[in-house]
Structure 1
């Protein structure tokens, strides 16, 4: 895992997360390390972290708010701030940020991933999609405002695509966000 992650790599990350409904960044990193070991490949922790960062930035993976998470019947016990998708800058531990499959993902399983539920000691989990989709829509709006204020046309192009993805992924309306992005790009 070196260089900029490909779309397929981001979808593979989403596929691994999808096996468990949600994983913390640390659990996802461990899963990827286990896969590398099974495939007799070297583990590059920095490349793994970079791939996760790209997947989060491009909405293939999304930070899940504690209220959207359940673990073996216990809900909302993970520290995650959807406004701080990388984690850590607001005092939360970046490795504890829970990630779920996002609207821009087409989850796929990398080779040997089907063995991960037997390798990782992760309890049964669930994600409340309605709560998750509301948090993702809020993050999308905040990201759009930040990109507009920064004059970041490249980021706005990505976010415009995400406004369509999120509407196909969940019962939300991102039309107002999309209109603001398009107006900025056309302006």
Structure 2
């Protein structure tokens, strides 16, 4: 089953936040509903790509269970619901989760800064360009200040 980054964001948006394991399980359920037998692990690469593109954000430091990373909808996402996704809240036993905007923004800013440093150190021009684009999405989306990181990317 092919799911776009926006599809993954739509699934996460149904619940507010999901762990990677829960999102993989949700994707596996969607595949099953479409007549495919796909293990949850098969979606790990898609989830990682959605994180890289800022369609999803990872929040590790939160109040619920700090040991569990939670995925939330990111600033680059235009969440869409894959066929059958509306049934997922009835199929899966996932608690309602709400993370504070400040917590999510702090995680997004931290991740962006880390990604920027790695891209500059690697001299990865494609990644630098995508991060520059993402920086504007991030600033419009949440209370983050990325001027210094953007300057570093511009200079690279």
Q: Residue 126 of structure 1 corresponds to which residue in structure 2?
A: 98
Matches within 5 A, 1:17-166: 17-43=12-38, 45=40, 47-67=42-62, 75-79=63-67, 96-166=68-138
What secondary structure is seen at the aligned counterpart in 1 of 2:98? strand
Q: Does 1:173 align with 2:145?
A: yes
Q: Aligned pairs, how many?
A: 156
TM superposition score normalised by structure 2: 0.92
Moved more, 43-52 or 116-125: 43-52
Task: Identify unmatched segments of 5+ residues in structure 2.
Answer: none
Residues 156-182 of structure 1: per-residue CA shift (max 9 Å, x gap): 111111101101111222222112111
Q: Which runs of 5+ in 1 are unaligned?
A: 68-74, 80-95
C-alpha distance in 2, partners of 1:148/1:66?
26
- 8 Å CA contact 2:21–2:40 kept in 1: the answer is no
CA root-mean-square deviation: 1.6
Q: Deviations over 1:79-100 (max 9, x none)?
A: 2xxxxxxxxxxxxxxxx53211
Of 35-44 and 125-134, the range deviating more from structure 2: 35-44
Q: Which runs of 4+ in 1 moved over 4 A?
A: none
Q: 1:146 & 1:32 partners in 2: Cα distance?
A: 30
